[in-house]
Chains A and B, each alone.
Chain A
Amino acid sequence: MRTRLYSLEELNDIPGTTVFNAMRSRQAYHLHKFCMSLMNPANREQFKQDESAYLNRFRMSTEQKQAVLDRDFNQLIELGGNIYFLVKLSNTDGWSTQKAVGSMTGMTPDEYAAMMRAGGRPIKGNRSIRGKK
């Protein structure tokens, strides 16, 4: 066996963080296909006219479709999604990236924006679940 600098299990020790990998990429393939379809203005219009009907064109899971309808970005990431695909959805909604990202933190958009203006979320206490440092 080759040696590794660290076990990949360590990636699960970062608090509030999901590391996007090949398995998740596959899990979210059809969700991401939907997201990238929104790079076309005609598709954006059709999605806005009837979101459910538009989503049914894609082989996404029921949970993924519901999370899109709910704009539940934490759930979309739980279901394999990656933020760079998902912002195609929030961009279509006219949201800023900050609003989309802040929506995952349990803070209001104003609270999140104020935290960022004040220097962002500190690293102290946010490095490790196990070590709580």
Chain B
Amino acid sequence: MARITAGIASSHVPAIGAAFDLGRTQEPAWKPVFDGYEWVRQFQRQEEPDVVILCYNDHASAMMLDVVPTFALGCAEEFAPADEGWGPRPVPTVMGDPVLAGHLAEQLVIDDFDMTLMNHLDVDHGLTVPLSLMFGKVEEWPVRVIPLAVNVTQFPTPSAERCWQLGVAIADAVQSYPAGLNVQIWGTGGMSHQLQGERAGLINPEFDQAFLDKLSNQTDDLRRLTRLEFLRESGSEGIELIMWLIMRGALGAKVEELHRFYHVPASNTAVGHIVLRPVR
């Protein structure tokens, strides 16, 4: 049967992707950010996951205009990098896993999560920047990816608790999959940042550090966070952190924290990254 072997969270700042693509990773402004992901790149070489269920948000690249899905699951064989206004990122096409995605789609709807299913989906920096951070510059991505896009843009987003429960349902669905796959689940976005209005540039390190501290074993506090608290404390775009709770919910009650990184800033954003191992 398939197993979830690790949960990974990371910011997905577009400027990190630009710095990566333009070969600026060793410049003073960017080196600390990329150094913070050296550990996980080594980790991934040892872990060799087969599939990543990658929770991210589409930044008005493939959805959000005509259709605004709360939870959307990518079911295609492949997903092309989106052109966000300056050409697509020069990264490999993302290969999907339609069989596992089909299984997840079936199980999640049966478990009362009314997913939107995407049979065509171009993926933007929200999905490809974490892949670059975890695997570096590669000819092809070493994993298959099932994109799980979450509405964190248009109020009301799903609640923290709803995201947690989706993670729990994903864990059950993976466990009931017959093939012996090594599956990781990633939560991306965050940490605190605000990209609009006079409050733009907001960073709240106390909120972020508390979130990281509580992610292992004080999760009840995080599940109770309201949308209002996220918007107020972590900024209008910091509410992306709800996607970390899908990841965490899928890992079960006990986890071991393997690695953590926090850095301010990348462009407008506080960068957070954590690697968790479920303890059974």
Contact = CB atoms under 8 A, between A and B. Distances in A.
Contact of B202 (A73, A92, A102, A120): A120
Interface residues of B, number: 47
Interface stretch (B91-99, B192-200, B251-259): B192-200
Given A11-B155, A97-B268, A98-B268, A120 B201 contact: yes
Interface string B261-279: 0001101101000000000
A29 B60 CA distance: 12
B15 A97 contact: yes
A38 B236 CA distance: 24
Interface in B24-67: 29, 59-61, 64-65
Contacts of B265: 116-117, 119-120
Interface string A85-98: 10111111010111
A69 interface: no
Contacts of B83: 39-41
B202 A126 contact: yes
B202 A123 contact: yes
Interface string A116-131: 1101111100111000
Nearest to A115: B201
A67 interface: no
Contacts of B231: 11, 14, 17, 19
B69 interface: no
A104 B199 CA distance: 9
A36 B62 CA distance: 9
Contacts of A38: 85
A123 B65 contact: no
Given A20-B155, A97-B14, A39 B85 contact: yes
A20 B90 CA distance: 31
B85 A89 contact: yes
B155 to A, nearest CB: 5
A77 interface: yes
Interface string A14-26: 1111111110010
B195 A101 contact: yes
A93 B168 CA distance: 43
Given A17-B231, A36-B65, A123-B204, A83 B196 contact: yes
Given A38-B85, A120-B265, 13 more contacts: A14-B199, A18-B197, A20-B153, A21-B156, A39-B84, A82-B153, A87-B59, A87-B85, A97-B195, A116-B268, A121-B203, A122-B203, A123-B202
12 contacts: A10-B228, A17-B197, A19-B231, A19-B236, A82-B154, A91-B84, A101-B200, A116-B265, A116-B267, A119-B203, A119-B264, A126-B202
Question: 7 tightest CB-CB pairs across the interface, nearest first?
Answer: A120-B203, A91-B85, A16-B198, A16-B199, A84-B59, A84-B60, A121-B201
